[in-house]
Amino acid sequence: MSAPGLPEIEQARARLEGVARVTPVYRSETLSRLVGREVHLKAENLQRTGSFKIRGAYNTISQLSPEQRGAGVVAASAGNHGQAVAWAAREVGAGARIFMPQDSPMAKVEATGSYGAEVELTGPAIEEALEAAQQYVAESGATFVHPFEDERVIAGQGTIGLELAEQLDELETVLIPIGGGGLASGISLALRAVRPGLRIIGVQAEGTLPGGSGYTIADGIAVKHPGELTMSILDETLDEIVSVTDEQISEAIVLLLERTKLVVEGAGAVGVAALLAGRVGGAGPAGVLLSGGNIDASLLIQVMRRGLAVGGRFLVLRTSVPDRPGQLAELLRLLATQRVNIVEVAHQREAAGVPVGHTGVELTLLTRNREHCDELIARLREWGYAVERLD
């Protein structure tokens, strides 16, 4: 295999015309103000199947011979690539079998099946899904569509770079998520060909790096190592690779949802997270790829709660009140004077550490910001309540 050039990326664009959406670019006033530079968002989360992946999948599958289509296609995926291969296979009339890690978000598993593919769950890691898929290919003769280590896939993803170059005239820096590296390889190859002066930065999830926990909410880029082909491309085309934590990703997801009204999954939010965390140098206009929006609903709820807590908008406290009528009502009355919304109140009479004659109380509160949280805790202590912060 060799890296695709600009002609292959332009050919991929021709194949994708009328198939893949030309996704919009939005300037974010909020992000621009927060980071002190112009920030533009390429909303690939609005692409068909909810992510960029159909570009590479369709560019690959549409080139298969009738015999290859008849034998079907196979993929290994944490979700987005599987959905894309299933969708593209359906479009060209080929069968698809998708191997997915057993802990893949149910939204992605169900969506993959809804496009007509047979779905098989394997072990917890994407590497195990890859191994199972390759074994099936050897037994069945189906065509394996690799999520990133394929020049046709890379060329398809590179069409995003051509669009971005046309949509934004003034651009200094571009931020691209890195998992297996197919997306970053394709976009960086395209941009180096048509806008060679751009600064291109890849963004990884810290949990997947050596020494990390091995887990990240950015499941779409939860790959331990980029491929050999993609890494050889990225070594030549990227100016820098940075990483962000799950807390930073959560905060970015919450901000994007609240301020831009865009639902973005963890992998799609890493570029925004890097900007907010101050990991990106330069002062000129920045373009950020929001690579996908397929976040599981239950995870989104957790992320929203965690992101609100990190941003000082969600506060969980433990305290106690005398076990007498009216004492809880008095605490709630005092909190109301501080303009706090109370989400949840839980009594804990037998909780460890609660003094005799008192009732433990756990409070979940909506607050304005971090300063408001600190002020509230200080005021509770002034009123004589022993307060422990739990979030």
Which residue is listed with tokens 């050919």?
A: 11
Question: Which residue ranges make up each domain of the chain?
Answer: 6-53+152-295, 54-144, 312-389
String of b and e for 302-325 (b: at least 16 CB within 10 Å)?
ebbbbbbbbbbbbbbbbbbbebee
Sign for the pseudo-dihedral over CA of 209, 109, 129, 188: negative
pLDDT at 234: 97
User: The tokens of 93 are what?
Assistant: 């009339």
**pTM for the predicted model, two decimal places:** 0.87
Q: Alpha-carbon distance 15 to 155, whole Å? A: 11
pLDDT at 66: 95
pLDDT at 99: 95
Q: Alpha-carbon distance 69 to 314, whole Å? A: 51
**CATH domain 54-144 topology:** Rossmann fold (3.40.50)
Widest Cα–Cα separation across the chain: 79
**CATH domain 312-389 topology:** Alpha-Beta Plaits (3.30.70)
The residues, ordered by sequence, that sit 6+ positions from 258 with a Cβ below 8 Å of its Cβ are none
- 267, containing H or E segment: helix 266-276
pLDDT at 357: 82
| Architecture of the structural domain at 6-53+152-295 | 3-Layer(aba) Sandwich (3.40)
In which residue ranges of the chain is pLDDT below 70? 349-353
- 246, containing H or E segment: helix 246-255
Q: Alpha-carbon distance 361 to 359, whole Å? A: 6
pLDDT at 222: 82
Question: Reading across the β-sheet that carries 73-76, which strands appear in turn?
Answer: 118-121, 96-100, 73-76, 143-144
Q: What is the pLDDT of residues 16-67, one digit of tens each?
A: 999 999 999 999 999 999 999 999 999 999 999 999 999 999 999 999 999 9
Q: 257, 264 in Cβ contact below 8 A?
A: yes
Asked if 6-53+152-295 and 312-389 have one fold, the answer is no
pLDDT at 369: 87
What dihedral do alpha carbons 60, 79, 177, 163 form, nearest 10°? 50
| Amino acid letter for position 243 | S
User: The tokens of 66 are what?
Assistant: 């009738």
